[in-house]
Amino acid sequence: MKRTAKDLSEYLGCELEGDATIEVSGIAAPARARAGDLIYVETQRHLGPAVASAARCVLAVPGVVIEGKTILRTAKPKLAFAQAAAILAPPPPIAAGIHSTAVISPSAKLARGVAVGPYAVIEDGVAIGAGTEIGAFCFLGAGAHLGEQCRLYPRVTLYAGSIVRDRVIVHSGAVIGSDGFGYVAANGKQWKFPQVGEVEIGNDVEIGSNTTIDRGSLDRTEIASGVKLDNLVHIAHNVRLGENTVIAAQTGISGSVVIGKNVSFGGQAGLGDHCRVEDGAIIGGQAGILPGKTIHAGQIVWGTPARSLEKFKAQFACSQRLPELIKRITALERPVIQK
């Protein structure tokens, strides 16, 4: 979709410098950009590739000089670039219309503009909001609710009764509403504990490929609005994730964990059951939080068991000296042993 530089400056609230009439029709990295693509520069360090780029229109911070380009000035070029991408490069449709091979219950309610791809299955009592797209081979179990303007890529599964609010993006292979991992040991056997609770996904959530979100056991699993989950994340039963929390790949969150707003997780983090992570905390990659522990608001933790970043760096630095220290101790002990 084409826009002029003037259109973009008004849409983004940027200050325009240069030719307001040039057309911008896409987005790209500087080295790959064509003349009609938009690029961005955050610091002087990124200036060289932008100067050499074929792109004629650049988002840049104040003070960065780029000769021969039309500049859109903004304090946050990367944010403006993401906002521009929404109108310059919208994602292609997942489905169009209702495919003839889709299996849709007569009791399901599909609002205006819903699209359903090949071999999707929509069971009894499912409700789907306006403008939602459902990819090939998706499964929506009985009584599931899917809001407006959602995008389900192929092979997404919503178990019966799952609730997904508006503008949610779910990538291929994700499963929402599966049973939690709960058993009671007795008489040499593991007895399955009931997994009959609910799962609710808030507005504007994005869920990566092959991520799993279990339903509550007797309560509810809640993913608040604005949460972003990477691929291969596991959310266990009764977990509550606060607004705008971001979780990177291969993180596992055990049952009944409560996580606040605006928390950031690095990849492969692990949380034991009944942990609490307060607002604004940062959990480093491969950090391990023991069951029942609390990470306080704004705290940055790393390592296993998780500890403050300052303590982790100090202890890690010491561990790098262990081979040297072992040699020194061995040298000190040898005369004593010989005596």
Q: 129-174 pLDDT, tens per residue?
A: 999 999 999 999 999 999 999 999 999 999 999 999 999 999 999 9
What is the rounded CA–CA span in Å between residue 70 and residue 7? 13
Residue 282 corresponds to which tokens in the numbers above?
Answer: 């940062």
CB distance 195 to 212 below 8 Å: no
- Span 284-316, pLDDT tens digits: 999 999 999 999 999 999 999 999 999 998 988
What is the rounded CA–CA span in Å between residue 331 and residue 311? 30
Longest dimension (CA), the chain: 92
Residue 116 corresponds to which tokens in the numbers above?
Answer: 């359903």
CB distance 56 to 74 below 8 Å: no
Of the chain, the end-to-end C-alpha distance in Å amounts to: 86
Q: Which residues contact 231 (CB under 8 A, 6 or more apart)?
A: 171, 208, 209, 210, 211, 249
- Span 91-115, pLDDT tens digits: 999 999 999 999 999 999 999 999 9
> Residue 330: what pLDDT?
87
Among residues 80, 125, 130, 133, which one has the least CA distance to residue 107?
125
Q: Counting every residue, how long is the chain?
A: 339
Mean pLDDT of the chain: 95
Give mean pLDDT, residues 265-273: 97
Among residues 134, 169, 143, 173, which one has the least CA distance to residue 157?
173
Give the DSSP H/E element, type plus range, for residue 9. Answer: helix 5-12
- Span 72-85, pLDDT tens digits: 999 999 999 999 99
55 in helix, strand or coil?
coil
Give mean pLDDT, residues 316-338: 83
Give mean pLDDT, residues 266-271: 98
Does the pLDDT at position 252 exceed 90? yes
What is the rounded CA–CA span in Å between residue 222 and residue 175? 15
> Residue 338: what pLDDT?
62
Confidence of residue 336 (pLDDT cuts 50, 70, 90): low
DSSP letters of 115-128?
EE-TT-EE-TT-EE
pTM over 0.75: yes
What is the rounded CA–CA span in Å between residue 54 and residue 34? 5
Among residues 151, 166, 304, 175, which one has the least CA distance to residue 234?
175
Residue 58 corresponds to which tokens in the numbers above?
Answer: 């650049």
- Looking at the annotation, which residues are catalytic? 237
CB distance 25 to 2 below 8 Å: yes
Give the DSSP H/E element, type plus range, for residue 3. Answer: strand 3-4
Give mean pLDDT, residues 18-37: 96
